[in-house]
Amino acid sequence: MNILIKSAKIFDKSNKDIHLKTKDILVLNGVISKIADTITPEKNTSVISKKNLCISIGWLDTSVSFGEPGFEERETIANGLKTAAKGGFTDIILNTNTNPIPYTSSTIAFIKNKASQETTSLHPLGALTVNSETVDLAELYDMKNAGAVGFSDYKKATSNSNLLKIALQYAQNFNGLIYSFPLDTKIAGKGIVNEGDVSTSLGLKGIPALAEELQVARDLFILEYTGGKLHIPTISTAGSVKLISDAKKKGLDVSCSVALYNLLYTDSKLTEFDTTYKVLPPLRTKKDKTALINAVKNGTIDFVTTDHTPLDIEQKKIEFDNAAYGTIGLESSFGLLNTIFDTETTVEILTKGRERYGLQKPEIKEGKTACFTLFDEDTQHFISKNTSISTAKNCMFFEEKLKGQVFGILNKDRVKIL
């Protein structure tokens, strides 16, 4: 397939010669053939030309859940990846909350095969422990060979300190990335929202910041002892930011992410008992939100994720105490981040992370494989229940004002233009 992208403003801080400059880009059979001020299209060349067109290397989300296998009614892999493409993502890291839980190489192979024909690339995590029961280590090495990019018991704390120690030690043999969800379940107890003034006024059981920070501190102590690669997903408190910042200064190989909703909202959103805002980690305080935004800016937080979690309507349209945690957000991510940060920073956030997962980072350079996200940086719009293509509709971002709009993606010699 031959494609000519006309008059695109390029966002690529790694290449000062083209960064923020407007160029034509010719792609022949999936490879960047030419980058120039003006290129005349030849026969059999599809031309992409849009007003205010911008381009960057493809975007990555490091925490995405679908339903397949086991919960296809929530979201299939095929439709989930189409939703990701609509959000501008050429790559996603898939979580392990399926049925069966992917703790063997055969399950990893099945998931990768299901996604092989889609425009957006899927990179699965494998479960850290058998059935994510946090008792026995799973087949980490075999899953790595089958294509797993890390090992996670999704949203389940590894309460057994020795298990985490052994996992970090063992995974060093093949450069494996170990996840540890930051929650001390004994401290959290039956809490479901942030512990504070709002939880007290609403009569809801709280999860104190201490429950997260104790686990983070423990994990970092273990990492300092063992070495290895540790990822702490979706931190949510100012205290966690400080702990991870100090660990990085010591030279520990630790990365972390924050969920988009923790950068946007605080627990004040809970006053109407709207279960759409029930997420884990919970929405925290204004102080936490400010610390998280600053940590993204200074690089203490490595990645921002949508933490996209499709759920059945029956799991949300019930009493707040019994509702499931989670929101979807793939389609809204760029437009929301672009309201918090400037567009250059937003694009930098969305393109980070591949190196951590052992994935090759694309380049906007002649002779390189094309992997692009096409977007507009200014258009004001919103996503609604009617315009979202996700099967699930549990989205706290519906009707929020978005700045900037995705036009489509080009990846693996496949194009998806909206």
How far is 58 from 410, CA to CA, in rounded Å? 8
| CB count in 10 Å sphere of residue 80 | 30
Residue 233 in contact with residue 281, Cβ under 8 Å? no
286, 402, 356, 120 alpha-carbon torsion, rounded to 10°: 150
How far is 229 from 316, CA to CA, in rounded Å? 35
* Residue of 355, 347, 337, 345 lying closest to 397 (CA atoms): 337
Which of the residues 24, 61, 302, 307 is marked catalytic? 307
How far is 102 from 111, CA to CA, in rounded Å? 9
**How far, rounded to the nearest angstrom, does the alpha carbon of residue 246 sit from its chain's CA centroid?**
24
How far is 382 from 403, CA to CA, in rounded Å? 9
How far is 395 from 122, CA to CA, in rounded Å? 22
How far is 76 from 126, CA to CA, in rounded Å? 18
Residue 12 in contact with residue 57, Cβ under 8 Å? yes
H helix or E strand, kind and range, residue 348:
helix 343-351
Based on the number of CB atoms within 10 Å of its own CB, is 345 exposed (0-12), middle (13-18) or buried (19 or more)? middle
How far is 177 from 168, CA to CA, in rounded Å? 8
Query: Catalytic residue at 307?
Result: yes
- The DSSP symbol for 399 reads T
List the catalytic residues. 307
